[in-house]
Structure formats: structure tokens, C-alpha cells
């Protein structure tokens, strides 16, 4: 019968080796798991909220919400790897005075950066360039006082307003940007204005293809704005 009795020493040695291996495996897991957790957390980039204070060019006049400038800019930035949400605070027909009047409730406390796209309706109505400049100054000054990075989008007066008016109006945006040391995108409709292929029938508001051109051209300025915050 003795030949059928198992060797307990061998059996116990096997058990001890397996137990030791299990302890080593658990020790390695305890060392690795915290590292993986920290690495995953650091890889997640916080989402920045970009608000565009504007007029019909921001509101997307004549376009669907998905075709409008805020939505297309957000999609473009996300495609480039930026964690951002773009909120369109655009009101069709708004002037710089209108933007100033609604500034506090249009730009919420959760905003991280702001694009100011106003002035086109001031020019279409022939409003005083000095008044437009003063309104923009107050808008930028109040945003900067809140610690918000600002990108000022410039606008040009239509040619039918005359050379003197156009010269005075067009200089407003560079003047405000220089005074408050904020970046300036010189002309919001650059590459789109007066091109019938890129505008709606009124030749004032860009179509969907025109919006894409605006997004592509302004994107480097917007990325620099977000990185400055």
C-alpha cells in the first residue's frame, strides 16, 4: 500500500511555489495599477468653452444650425484634436451697441475665451465709427476685466459708404486691438466677401461653403486664443 501514498513534501513544495507566484503577481498589479490610473487621468484634456458674441454671421442667418459658423468651427477644432465647446451668442441685426447691452448675460460664467464678431450692422446703417469704437472698447475692456482671452474679428465697411467713412470705420478694429493688446483677425469675411459662389442671394451672408472658408482661415487665430487661456 505504501507505493500509493503521495509524496507530501513534493506536494507541499508545489503549493508553496504557486502561492509565492500568486503573491508576486498581486504585488506587480498593485504597483502597475496606480500608474495606469494616473496616466489615464492626465491624458484627458479639460474641455474649454469658447463663446462667440456676434450678429447674424454668428447666428447663421439662412443656414441650418449644423451649417452655422459656431457648429462648423467646433467640428473643425475637434477634428484637429482640441477639446472645445463653441457657443454661438449671435443675434441677427445686432450692432456693437446691442452686443454691449447684452454682454453680461450672453457671456456666462463658464466661458473660457470669447470671439467678438460685431460691427457689420454698424457699417450697414452708417453709424458713427467713433461710436462703434467706443462700444467695442467697452466690450473688450469688460471681458478682459473678467480675465477672459479675447479675439477681435474685424469688419470692413461696404464700398457704397464712401472712402472717408470706410477708412475711419475699418481702422476701428485695429485701434481697439492695439489699445487692449488683444489679437485681431483683420476681416471676418476674408476670402468670402463679394464672391457669389460663397454667399447667399443677398451677397451679405455666407452660404455653407463660405462658412467653411471662414472657419479654415480663422482657425489658427482661435487655436492661439485657446492656448493663451
- Sequence-distant (6+) residues with CB within 8 A of 119 are 95, 96, 132, 136, 154, 155, 169, 172, 173
Residues shown for the chain: 229
* Annotated catalytic residue 205: yes
Distance (Å) of CA 59 to CA 118, 151, 154, 190? 12, 18, 17, 18
- From the candidates 82, 112, 122, 205, give the one annotated as an active-site residue: 205
Can you tell me the mean pLDDT for 97-119? Answer: 98
Alpha carbons within 13 angstroms on the beta-carbon side of residue 174 total 8
> Residue 18 has what pLDDT?
60
Residue 189 CA, chain-centre distance (Å), reads: 18
Residue keyed to cell 483677425 = 185
Give 109's strand partners.
none
- From the candidates 104, 112, 202, 228, give the one annotated as an active-site residue: 202
> Residue 20 has what pLDDT?
53
Rounded Cα gap, residues 16 and 13, in angstroms: 5
* Annotated catalytic residue 4: no
Rounded Cα gap, residues 134 and 112, in angstroms: 24
Instruction: DSSP for 33-94, please give it.
Output: HHHHHHHHHHHSPPPEEEEEEESHHHHTTTS-TTTSHHHHHHHHHHHTT--EEEEEEE-TT-
Can you tell me the mean pLDDT for 114-132? Answer: 98
Whether residue 25 has pLDDT greater than 70: no
Ordered by start, the domain boundaries in the chain are: 2-42, 45-228
Can you tell me the mean pLDDT for 15-44? Answer: 47
Which residue did the predictor score with more confidence, 34 or 178? 178
Share of the chain above pLDDT 70, in %: 81
Whether residue 29 has pLDDT greater than 60: no
| Mean pLDDT of the residues in the chain | 88
Whether residue 9 has pLDDT greater than 70: no
- From the candidates 55, 56, 82, 112, give the one annotated as an active-site residue: 56
Rounded Cα gap, residues 100 and 96, in angstroms: 6
Give the pLDDT band (50/70/90) at residue 45.
confident
Give the pLDDT band (50/70/90) at residue 34.
very low
pTM assigned to the model = 0.81
Residue 132 CA, chain-centre distance (Å), reads: 25
> Residue 229 has what pLDDT?
75
Whether residue 79 has pLDDT greater than 60: yes
State the CATH class of domain 45-228: alpha beta
Whether residue 11 has pLDDT greater than 80: no
Closest CA to 71 of 61, 60, 55, 80: 60
Q: Which of 37-51, 74-88, 146-160, 178-192 has the lowest mean pLDDT?
A: 37-51
- pLDDT tens for 125-181 read 999 999 999 999 999 999 999 999 999 999 999 999 999 999 999 999 999 999 999
Rounded Cα gap, residues 114 and 142, in angstroms: 12
Rounded Cα gap, residues 128 and 122, in angstroms: 8
* Annotated catalytic residue 56: yes
Amino acid at each position: 500500500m505504501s507505493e500509493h501514498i503521495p509524496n507530501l513534501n513534493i506536494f507541499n513544495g508545489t503549493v508553496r511555489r504557486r502561492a509565492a507566484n500568486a503573491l508576486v503577481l498581486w504585488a506587480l498589479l498593485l504597483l502597475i495599477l496606480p500608474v495606469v490610473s494616473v496616466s489615464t487621468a492626465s491624458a484627458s484634456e479639460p474641455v474649454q468653452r469658447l463663446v462667440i458674441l456676434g450678429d447674424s454671421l454668428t447666428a447663421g442667418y439662412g443656414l441650418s444650425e449644423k451649417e452655422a459658423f459656431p457648429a462648423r468651427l467646433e467640428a473643425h477644432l475637434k477634428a484637429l484634436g482640441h477639446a472645445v465647446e463653441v457657443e454661438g451668442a449671435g443675434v441677427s441685426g445686432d450692432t456693437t451697441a446691442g452686443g454691449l447691452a447684452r454682454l453680461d448675460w450672453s457671456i456666462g460664467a463658464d466661458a473660457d475665451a470669447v470671439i467678438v464678431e460685431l460691427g457689420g450692422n454698424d457699417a450697414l446703417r452708417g453709424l458713427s465709427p467713433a461710436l462703434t469704437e467706443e462700444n467695442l472698447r467697452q466690450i473688450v475692456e469688460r471681458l478682459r476685466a473678467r480675465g477672459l482671452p479675447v479675439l477681435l474679428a474685424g469688419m470692413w465697411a461696404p464700398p457704397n459708404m464712401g472712402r472717408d467713412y470706410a477708412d475711419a470705420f475699418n481702422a476701428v478694429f485695429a485701434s481697439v486691438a492695439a489699445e487692449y493688446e488683444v489679437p485681431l483677425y483683420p476681416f471676418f469675411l476674408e476670402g468670402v466677401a463679394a464672391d457669389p459662389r460663397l454667399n447667399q442671394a443677398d451677397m451679405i451672408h455666407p452660404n455653407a461653403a463660405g462658412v467653411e472658408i471662414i472657419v479654415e482661415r480663422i482657425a489658427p487665430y482661435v487655436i492661439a486664443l485657446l492656448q493663451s487661456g
